[in-house]
Chain A
Amino acid sequence: MPCISADGTLTVAARKVMTAMQSPTPLEGAANASGLPLYQIRSSVRELVQAGLVEVLEDGRHVLTEAGRQKLAAQS
């Protein structure tokens, strides 16, 4: 999974996306905050949601899960 390296650590892109999602954020906002293109945000978020590190709120915004916060903190 490109967001998570083979050794279990977060990739550079994943860390940028997750840092942008510490509070509820629309995908476009995460793109602006991280400097990553929107297509890469969509791809990364799909994988981070699958991994249980990011969740989608009812209003469509995205935010880190508790597991996501811990994982990000462990690598910061």
Chain B
Amino acid sequence: MDTMPSEKPAVGMPRLGAPAPTFEAATTHGTLKLEDFRGSWVILFSHPADFTPVCTTEFIAFAKLVPEFKKRNVELLGLSIDSTFSHIAWVRNIEEKFGVKIPFPVIADLNKEVASLYGMIMPGESTTETVRCVFIIDDKGILRAMIYYPLSNGRNMDEILRLIDAMQTSDKHGVATPANWRPGDKVIVPPPRTASDAEERVKAGYECTDWYFCMKSL
């Protein structure tokens, strides 16, 4: 009898809009719990391994954007399946060789606890390393966005910053943002839910292409 190739059970995945899975982990800044970040947005991101070139470029790029993240009340928290000692040696090496100080903590997830909670290990890519994940958690501890990149390609930090801006704008103004939106661009007014609201909408003074597609400046 033919059988399907055996597969390991699917890795658990967190869900958008749900509370981010909690954890307590050893980091380069001491033992941290996710709840220690309450009141701040958090970018929890994983990298495959310390002392690897793509990851090094990403850490440098993240570090350079820290002032921009701080302005937005965002803290960074890195992770890989390496030891604290390895992380410390690597961030010191980055400072020595590239002149960039890494100011954010990095989780030493040797037992893969956090990686498993967040579905950071993709066996098709690697069973021993985390892929390049980004989890954006808001100031109330809700998981708001997830981005996954493969081992071979570094992330676009500008897009992560742009997404933070977009989500914080949506939260503040109750609007949505169109493709490729940037701060200062027009935003989308949420579509009306009833026929009578649709009738009202086109008279409301927004820039409407049709009843369901209205934009405004903030």
Q: Which A residues have a C-beta under 8 Å from some C-beta of B?
A: 1-3, 11, 13, 37-40, 42-44, 47
> Roughly how many angstroms separate A44 CA and B36 CA in the complex, as a whole number?
10
B37 x A39 contact (CB < 8 A): yes
Secondary structure type dominating chain A contacts: helix
B30 x A2 contact (CB < 8 A): yes
Q: How far is the CB of A2 from chain B (nearest CB, A)?
A: 3
Check B82 for interface membership: any CB of A closer than 8 A.
no
A43 x B75 contact (CB < 8 A): no
B75 x A3 contact (CB < 8 A): no
Q: Which of the residues B30, B32, B37, B40 comes within 8 Å of A3, measured between beta carbons? A: B30
B39 x A38 contact (CB < 8 A): yes
Size class of B's contact patch?
10 to 19
B30 x A38 contact (CB < 8 A): no
Check B29 for interface membership: any CB of A closer than 8 A.
yes
Q: Which residue of A lies closest to B84 (CB)?
A: A2
B29 x A38 contact (CB < 8 A): no
> Roughly how many angstroms separate A2 CA and B26 CA in the complex, as a whole number?
9
B39 x A43 contact (CB < 8 A): no
Q: How far is the CB of A32 from chain B (nearest CB, A)?
A: 14
Residues in chain A near residue B30, CB distance under 8 A: 2-3, 11, 13, 40, 43-44, 47
B33 x A43 contact (CB < 8 A): yes
Residues in chain B near residue A38, CB distance under 8 A: 36, 39-40
Q: Which of the residues A2, A3, A13, A42 comes within 8 Å of B36, measured between beta carbons? A: A42
A47 x B31 contact (CB < 8 A): yes
B32 x A39 contact (CB < 8 A): yes
List 21 interface pairs A-B (beta carbons < 8 Å), by A numbering: A2-B30, A2-B31, A3-B30, A13-B29, A13-B30, A37-B75, A38-B39, A38-B40, A39-B36, A39-B75, A40-B29, A40-B30, A40-B32, A40-B36, A40-B105, A42-B35, A43-B29, A43-B30, A43-B33, A43-B36, A47-B30
> Roughly how many angstroms separate A42 CA and B39 CA in the complex, as a whole number?
12
**Further 9 A-B residue pairs, CB within 8 A, beyond A39-B75, A47-B31:** A2-B29, A13-B29, A38-B36, A39-B36, A39-B37, A40-B36, A43-B31, A43-B32, A47-B30
> Roughly how many angstroms separate A44 CA and B30 CA in the complex, as a whole number?
8
> Roughly how many angstroms separate A42 CA and B38 CA in the complex, as a whole number?
10
Q: How far is the CB of A30 from chain B (nearest CB, A)?
A: 13
Residues in chain A near residue B37, CB distance under 8 A: 39
The 5 closest A-B pairs by CB, nearest first: A2-B30, A39-B36, A42-B36, A39-B37, A43-B36
> Roughly how many angstroms separate A3 CA and B31 CA in the complex, as a whole number?
9
